[in-house]
Structure 1
Amino acid sequence: MSNGGPEVGRVFIGAGCNRIVNNVSWGACGLVAFGAQNAVAIFCPETAQILTTIPGHKASVTCTYWLPSAKFAFKAKHLERHFLLSGDAEGVIILWELSLLDKQWRYVLQVPQSHKKGVTCIAGFMISETDAVFASTSSDSSVYVWELALPSSSGGDCNLSCLDTLSVGPKPMVTLSIAELPGTTGHFLLAMGGLDNKIHLFCGERTGKFVRACELKGHNDWIRSLDFSLPVCTNGEMSNLLLVSSSQDRSIRIWKITPHNSLANSRRREDISLTSYIEGPIFVVGSFSYQISLESLLIGHEDWVYSVEWQPPLVSAEGVECHQRQSILSASMDKTMMIWQPERTTGIWMNVVTVGELSHCALGFYGGHWSSSGDAILAHGYGGSFHLWRNVGVDADNWQPQKVPSGHIAAVADIAWAKSGEYLLSVSHDQTTRIFAPWLSEPHLETLDTWHEIARPQVHGHDINCVAIIQGKGNHRFVSGAEEKVARVFEAPLSFLKTLNHAALHKSTFPEDMQADVQILGANMSALGLSQKPIYVQAAHEPTVRNSNEGVDTLETIPDAVPVELTEPPIEEQLAWHTLWPESHKLYGHGNELFSLCCDHKGELVASSCKAQSVSVAEIWLWQVGSWKAIGRLQSHSLTVTQMEFSHDDNFLLAVSRDRHFSVFSIKQTGADKISYQLLARQEAHKRIIWACSWNPFGHEFATCSRDKTVKIWAVEKSSSVKQLMTLPQFHNSVTAISWLGLDLSSNAGCLAVGLENGLIELWSLSVVRTEDGSLAATGPSTAALLVRLDPFMCHVSTVHRLAWRNRVQSTASGSMQLASCGADNSVRVFEVRFD
């Protein structure tokens, strides 16, 4: 950060979870880590906010693992630093350090021996506060076992040594678990399972190699998850060890590992129980031998069981003893998580809690995790969403859904602020449009508002490329363009307007007396997911029959949406189904899929462009807001127009294109529904594709940015010609997004936000000197200077797609502005910039 520059703070990050098993880990520190595209994201379950994203991986993050994890929270009471392992799709594993005192992250090391293919699972065991053993497995069929000595002082070195490299054959292992064998010191048991339907057990010491102990057969499909308990205490002795396994055969098995000698002594000849018929293999470790038997078979899920996890141990008040609780959490593709416990009288394992079964939108769970205290459970789903339940019961269990962070699960293509900045709208290649807004916790405390996703107005059948919010008076409306030749217009329903009044500190710009005119309560999804049909206020209370063929399962048997006024931030189940906006118009005319959209500041015109490789297809269409007639077709470019923007007095329309040219059109209103337009200037501006453009809010200057790593400033002169004012110093990466903020009208000073292909963001001060008649001054040239480079831990980890300053009406404090950004790393971000 340069001296004297503005202060930049992180306000909000919205991002979804990579759709992959083993991607989420809940640490003893209370934080959850997950992979969001190439970044490792960290979120706090208490506040439902993503705290930071950690850059460093060059490929998609596939798994994370905390040291210590929630299971070993009892060994982490006095730790000031926690560590996190993250693996990616190229086989790289990185170790990070989190200092709890200052909440700072530090890159520690990259595990030297990378896997040849993507990492599928990391599992660890905390021996002590400073010693850990962990193993990793990959699609390359190898398993590496490592010993890690953590530093005892801040900033100290971590010592990593490879204990062994294992391979069990051509079929990869996809899940691992490590335990210390009871009765021995320093002997570890490593369980691995995968595509050969068997559980492979290996024994090893901290000093030497791991040797094959035995195989466990029983599952008849891929093994998806394994988890060792801590040793179970019986009669005061730490004797038995339990292993739980789950599979795509929909079953869960609990295996008991018992020291063999004690088993033989305790059983008399006449004591023939069921276990004697299902005795498993015996293996020897040093001077000890152990027998494995199948303890229980749990059947209840109706689809693949992706994860099983023991409830973290109960620690005594003194923190000395810990007791392994007999409770297992399972998560399945049947859209449920279950908690299993043995009955007190019979010892038979039963399903005691089921959550998630009503979420018809979740499309199944990829994994489930306990909090370290065991009073909360978290699932992550196929849609990249989180689902959190907390046990709020006092005498009896009462699991209630909680708020969680949410966001897109594919590249975010475009963002737009609401007319007065009350919320931020984003569109993505995950085929959704989402609305994020600050939700005020306490009306009298302005500092406590946290951001949440408050609506998902469009769920579409195509990747969405662009969006524009209709300015001007009246209801909230937006136009979106996707990988289809149609632009679609959406209008806010009554349920959203009422929800917005609960969320916003400043009441919505659409007052309640005008809301009475809105007759649409919400919207229903059509069968093919392409258009959204309105639900009218008066019809909302009448029972509807969507399908005359009762009991026949067809495309039309989709549950009806129930749009309601929300008084607190919604959870995933509400967002995905009940917050849709009705589609009011379709705009036909373009020859290819839509690529960019913009609206003028009066809310009278919308301009649209599509992907193009010829002059006729690359034309810009102008639409009249309200009648939605096409009233102009502007020709200038020969390739795709990548971005357009109206000048702040709406006299000019600026367009930039892949053909390396920009165009400036004059736009004049000549009648009620007629306009005249004229091409003022067309100029080759850069050596490579021009990605974005932005007007000076105080004048007729504009900026363009390009793949050629440059940003240029231009001005429209009185003679209607365009003159180049300056070129900013060359950047190290392609410049993919810019947004110009006006700071001082009298001096024509502004701040230009610049987004780069590597995800970083910079702020530049701009000063453009003009004479009184508006022409460019001959003396006193325009100047630009770097104000601040944002901290990489704040920025995106992939290409920045769009930057947008929040409207001044909603600036949070004097001298403070908010900047929104979106990128290819699936995230939407909001920063607070405080100018001196």
Structure 2
Amino acid sequence: MSSADVKASASRIFIGAGCNRVVNNVSWGACDLVSFGAQNAVAIFCPKRAQILTTLPGHKATVNCTRWLPCSKFAFEAKNMSRHYLLSGDADGAIMLWELSLIDQKFKHVLQVPEPHKKGVTCIYAILISNRDAIFATTSSDGTSHIYEVVLPMSIEDECAVSLVESISVNAKVMVAISLSELPGSSGKIVVAMGGLDNKIHLYCGDRTGKFIHACEIKGHADWIRSLDFSLPVCIDDESSSLLLVSSAQDRAIRIWKIALRDMASNNERASSIDEINLESYIKGPVLIAGSYSYQISLESLLIGHEDWVYSVEWQPPTFSSTERTSFFQPLSLLSASMDKTMMIWKPEKTTGIWMNVVTVGELSHCALGFYGGHWSPNGDSILAHGYGGSFHHWKNVGTDMDNWKPQRVPSGHFAMVTDIAWARSGEYILSVSHDQTTRVFAPWEQDASLPSWHEIARPQVHGHDISCVTIIKGKGNHRFVSGAEEKVSRVFEAPLSFLKTLNHATSKVYGFPEDGQTDMQILGANMSALGLSQKPIYVQATHAHEVPERTGTDGLDSFETIPDAVPVVLTEPPIEDQLAWHTLWPESHKLYGHGNELYSICCDHEGKLLASSCKAQSAMVAEIWLWQVGSWKAVDRLHSHSLTVTQMEFSHDNKMLLAVSRDRQFSVFLINRTESGEVTHLLLSRQEAHKRIIWTCSWNPFGHEFATGSRDKTVKIWAVKGDSSVKHISTLPQFSSSVTALSWVGLDWGQNSGLLAVGMENGHIALWGLRVGRTKGAEAPVVSLSLAAQLDPLMCHVSTVNRLTWRSSEEEDSRTLQLASCGADQCVRVFEISIN
């Protein structure tokens, strides 16, 4: 069993994922990392590298909100902390606590917070009380708000302790925003502000032992309150005497409320009665009583500027005092994010004190569809928004004497289940499709640095239907792919000139430029028609074809008189979201009509001459497989065998056979015959009921006519096509812990006939099995030797169903380093490097 006894190790190269489309989902920590929910996972990305570092598994439902402890607001208090913490809440009401060790940058799951909510968590807010203590509060759609105390560990051996301090019932008044602060002047008193569907801000007072009582209500907003944030105490005459609370709502307004010690308020009142009333005089609000202290609440300012719902407001994190490096002050600066596609920074004017909008970013965005939240970096020089399209938008102030906010790179990915992936013919990039109705290209940008980092470099298809399957046309010629969606049509796309030149910049190689004299016109890019799903080509004269405009990642996108809105550009560095969504479309060249239902599976042979497609089916007539001729795009044959949906198909590596597996628990092997005139005929070699449950996946041995099938019955079976045209079961892998949903077989050594079989499961886990097929003359069937080569670390893997696995095609034979790509229901596209030991 020596050759099969392969051992392998895996490392993670890349994760692409989009952000869940919910408010309060993103948090920027004092550790300068950003957390967000990607389906059931908590994802962590580094803004400086624009790369997702890891995903944290554990939640059983969609992650609604995350919050760092300490967040960027408390970065000034986190200088000596060696461990930071992260809270995450999901749609089932569960709240998890994670620990990040700054020394080795590793995460670990600490605990699930006791007494969870009965319904989804809508907001989490946390504050540091001291180096040892923290408090966080949560709101939920179950009509309650919980307040917890966290005791942080002092030594390496200690663990975090979390206890529920108070549960506040708000009943019918569902709360969606919450903020906490210590009250100035009163030792140990904590104020909680909550807002939601009744348009009021509710203030509760208590201490760290609980006993929170409803203190007062603040009225002013005319629609749902979406965000609340307390400043740190604002110093007047070296005394922390007042707090500022900012609120935003669906009435498009932002309000700043001042909470001042009562005696301070009365002094101000006496002073202002002598002077004439000016714009700085406050509109009186309710009085807040906390123990022996009382506070006057007044409206400091009303900020009007956004044209749509304002989903988030956040105070700029405290900064070092310019005089003393040990003291900190709260800058009077606010960041707001709105569904009108803009983020604004607000500051009071120095002379009048009137709050003004001093910075606006994002207003030129074609594609953001509005922002769900905006966040400051710990040092206040960067801002980050997350949008309706699951995307991030990052700006950094690169100015020295004056503000100059420039867009920055961010990680990107799908914001819904990723259904299928395919490597380019030579492995230059990965193509992925998703239920978010987009097709995306991810590639390593090798010119970026000594270590190439992966980025999304194109978005060839933006569709009106959920896309379910894709295949790249192999063989010579331009880069082409065919995708199928929840419509009955397959669509063929061809790479435009702008993409080929972008690929040259990314990889330092020259790819497929059109030959001189081939045609008078060249396709520069594509444009989406206003009313329709087709992407129309944009042409340029061949004499100008190589003068495609080059754009860096952050330049403005100029339009040409001769070219419509979507200007195809050549990217000389990894693009930002605006460029991806608007300027990297591929033109659609053909539509393939024939299927009676929405497309489900599609595959191409290894020469790029024949395409097979299947659709969802409940009857034998609809479950037929269609064969299409690449180039003419004519239907050349129809294969009947199954009675339910064909879930996956694959051509054998010599292109002589087509394997199909189905929901009807059977597989079929067809012999495909092609004549010189281009006619295609088929012969059904075998159809067998192979498993007890649905067969989800299959894969051929690259070195022969053996194949593997994987099923919901948690088994993987190995089969061999015998010389007498029958199929024999030759081996079964040990039963897995979950349904097998994805398989991919790669060859390691032709002489030994050995390979690796990657197995993806419904629980997100991935295993690698070493296989060696031994063939002897006269034997009835080959003998398979099996060994477990590697079980990938769950922290590396998906957190829900693995939908597809595929090995990168390598030009090197007997390579000891391979790349494996995977996609799953957790919105992620992942690339692993597999080292054969």
**TM-score between both structures, scaled by the size of structure 1:** 0.95
- The corresponding residue for 1:419 is 425
Is 1:376 the counterpart of 2:377 in the alignment?
Answer: no
Distance 1:221 1:259 in 2: 29
- The structure-2 alpha-carbon separation of the partners of 1:810 and 1:326, relative to structure 1 and needing over 3 Å to count, comes to farther
SS class of match (2:403): coil
Render the CA deviation track for 1:514-554: whole Å, top value 9, x for unaligned.
79867111111122341111111239999xxxxxxxxxxxx
Change (3 A) 1:515 1:743: farther
Give the deviation of 1:709 after TM superposition.
0.7
User: In the alignment, is the contact (CA less than 8 A) between 2:72 and 2:376 conserved in 1?
Assistant: yes
2:774 corresponds in structure 1 to 769
- State the distance in 1 between where 2:282 and 2:709 align: 77
Displacement of 1:189 after TM fit?
1.0
What is the aligned partner in structure 2 of residue 817 from structure 1? 818
Task: Tell me the equivalent position of 2:141.
Answer: 139
Aligned twin of 1:493: 496
Deviations 1:231-272 (A, max 9, x none): 112222222211110010000001111111122234334235
Query: In the alignment, what sits opposite 1:523?
Result: 526
SS at match of 2:443: strand
Segment drifting more, 314-323 vs 282-291: 314-323
Q: Is residue 295 of structure 1 aligned with residue 300 of structure 2?
A: yes
2:11·2:833 contact (CA, 8 Å) conserved in 1? yes
From 630, 633, 636, the equivalent of 2:638 is 633
1:803 is aligned with what amino acid?
L
Q: Deviations over 1:455-509 (max 9, x none)?
A: 110111111110010000000000000111111100000000000111125x254
Q: 1:421 touches 1:809 (CA, 8 Å); kept in 2?
A: no
Greater shift in the superposed pair: 265-274 or 155-164: 265-274
* 2:59 partner amino acid: H
Matched residues, number? 812
Structure 2 Cα separation of the partners of residues 186 and 559 of structure 1? 62
Shift of 1:3: 11
Give the aligned partner of residue 60 of structure 2: 58
Distance in 2 between residues matched to 1:278 and 1:15, nearest whole Å:
46
Contact 2:652 2:700 (C-alpha < 8 Å) held by counterparts: yes
| Alignment match of 2:338 (pick from 332, 343, 355) | 332
Paired with 1:338 and 1:293, the residues of 2 have a C-alpha distance of 24
Q: Partner of 1:270 in structure 2?
A: 274
- Could you tell me which runs of 5 or more consecutive residues in structure 2 were left unpaired when the two chains were aligned: 548-562
Asked if 1:449 is matched to 2:452, the reply is yes
Q: Give the whole-Å Cα distance in 2 for the aligned partners of 1:3 and 1:319.
A: 61
What residue number does 1:176 align with?
178
Which whole-Å CA distance do the structure 2 matches of 1:508 and 1:181 have between them? 64
- Which AA in structure 2 matches 1:758? N
Report deviation, 1:165: 1.2
Q: Structure 1 CA distance, aligned partners of 2:282 and 2:784?
A: 88
How far off its partner does 1:810 sit?
7.6
CA contact (8 A) 2:282 2:300 kept: no
Please say if residues 497 and 515 of structure 1, whose CA atoms lie closer than 8 Å, have aligned partners that are also in contact.
Answer: no
Helix, strand or coil for the counterpart of 2:255?
A: strand
Does 2:575 match 1:570?
Answer: yes
Q: Contact 1:420/1:810 (CA < 8 Å) preserved in 2?
A: no
Q: Is the 8 A contact 1:769 1:777 kept in 2?
A: no
2:730 to 720, 725, 731: 725
Q: How far does residue 277 in structure 1 lie from its aligned partner after superposition?
A: 6.1
Q: Match for 1:797: what amino acid?
A: V
Q: TM-score, normalised by structure 2?
A: 0.94
* Aligned partner of 2:477 among 457, 474, 478: 474
**What are structure 1's unaligned runs of at least 5 residues?**
543-557
Is 1:599 aligned with 2:623?
no
**Secondary structure class of the residue paired with 2:214:** strand
Please state whether the residue corresponding to 1:632 is helix, strand or coil.
strand
Match of 1:737 in 2: 742
Report the more deviating stretch, 608-617 or 734-743. 608-617
- Indicate yes or no: 2:48 matched with 1:46: yes
Q: What SS does structure 2 have at the residue aligned with 1:664?
A: strand
User: Shift of residue 163 of structure 1?
Assistant: 1.7
Distance in 1 (alpha carbons) for counterparts of 2:658 and 2:699: 11
Alignment of 1:272-421 (within 5 A): 272-274=276-278, 278-316=283-321, 319-421=325-427
Q: After TM superposition, list the pairs within 5 Å mapping 1:611-760 onto structure 2.
A: 611-760=616-765
Q: Distance in 1 between matches of 2:653 and 2:123?
A: 53
Greater CA deviation, 208-217 or 491-500? 208-217
SS in 1 for 2:811: helix
Name the counterpart of 2:104: 102
> How far, CA to CA, are the matches of 1:609 and 1:426 in structure 2?
19
Match of 1:123 among 125, 145, 149: 125
| 8 Å contact kept, 2:114–2:164 | no
What does residue 162 of structure 2 align with? 160
Query: Hey, what does 1:228 align to over in structure 2?
Result: 230
* Alpha-carbon separation, structure 2, partners of 1:156 and 1:484: 56
**Structure 2 residue aligned with 1:428:** 434
Q: Which amino acid aligns with 1:827?
A: C
Distance 2:448 2:438 in 1: 30
Q: Distance in 2 between matches of 1:321 and 1:514?
A: 68
Which letter does structure 2 place at the counterpart of 1:387?
H
Q: Name the counterpart of 2:445.
A: 439
How far is the alpha carbon of 1:286 from its aligned partner? 2.1
C-alpha distance in 2, partners of 1:273/1:815? 79
Contact (CA 8 Å) 2:715, 2:733: kept in 1 or not? Answer: yes
Secondary structure (helix, strand or coil) at the match of 1:474 reads coil
- Separation in structure 2 between the aligned mates of residue 354 and residue 747 of structure 1, nearest angstrom: 63
Partners of 1:280 and 1:292 within 8 A in 2: yes
Looking at structure 2, the residues matched to 614 and 334 of structure 1 have their Cα atoms a distance apart, in angstroms, of: 48
Partner of 2:552: none
Q: Please state how far the C-alpha of 1:287 moved relative to its aligned partner.
A: 2.2
Matched-pair contact (CA < 8 Å) for 2:232–2:243? yes
- Once residues 500 and 517 of structure 2 are traced to their aligned partners in structure 1, the CA distance between those partners, rounded to angstroms, is 7
1:21 partner SS: coil
Tell me, yes or no, if the aligned pair for 1:315 and 1:323 is still in contact at 8 Å.
Answer: yes
State the distance in 2 between where 1:32 and 1:703 align: 41
Work out whether residues 500 and 511 of structure 2, in 8 Å CA contact, stay in contact via their aligned partners in 1: no
Moved more, 517-526 or 119-128: 517-526
CA apart distance, 1:442: 4.7
Equivalent-residue separation in structure 1 for 2:282 and 2:693 (angstroms): 74
Secondary structure of the 1:339 match is strand
Q: Does structure 1 conserve the Cα–Cα contact (< 8 Å) formed by 2:717 and 2:729?
A: yes
Moved more, 96-105 or 2-11: 2-11
CA distance in 2, matches of 1:141, 1:515: 70
Distance in 2 (alpha carbons) for counterparts of 1:683 and 1:319: 76
Question: Equivalent residues in 2 for 1:202-281 (5 A)?
Answer: 202-266=204-268, 267-268=270-271, 269-274=273-278, 278-281=283-286
Is 1:422–1:508's contact at 8 Å kept on the other side of the alignment?
no
**What does the per-residue CA deviation read over 1:638-677, in whole Å, with 9 as the maximum and x for residues that have no partner?**
1111111011110111111111111111112212321222
Asked if the contact 2:235–2:242 (Cα under 8 Å) also holds between the matched residues in 1, the reply is yes
CA distance in 1 between partners of 2:518 and 2:172 (Å): 67
Q: CA deviation at 1:207?
A: 2.3
CA shift, 1:513, in A, is: 5.1
Write the distance in 2 (CA, Å) between the matches of 1:379 and 1:214: 32
> Structure 2: how far apart are the matches of 1:567 and 1:338?
29
* 1:463 equivalent in structure 2: 466
Q: Structure 1: which amino acid aligns with 2:383?
A: I
Q: What letter corresponds to residue 274 of structure 2 in structure 1?
A: E
- The residue correspondences of 1:799-810 to structure 2 (distance < 5 A) are 799-809=801-811
Deviating more after overlay: 407-416 vs 611-620? 611-620
Q: Take 1:20 and 1:83, find their aligned partners in 2: how far apart are those partners? A: 22
Helix, strand or coil: the match of 1:809? coil
Q: Secondary structure at the match of 2:410?
A: coil
Amino acid aligned to 2:828: S
Give the secondary structure class of the aligned counterpart of 1:764.
strand
Query: RMSD over aligned Cα, in angstroms?
Result: 2.0
Which amino acid letter does the alignment assign opposite residue 571 of structure 1? I
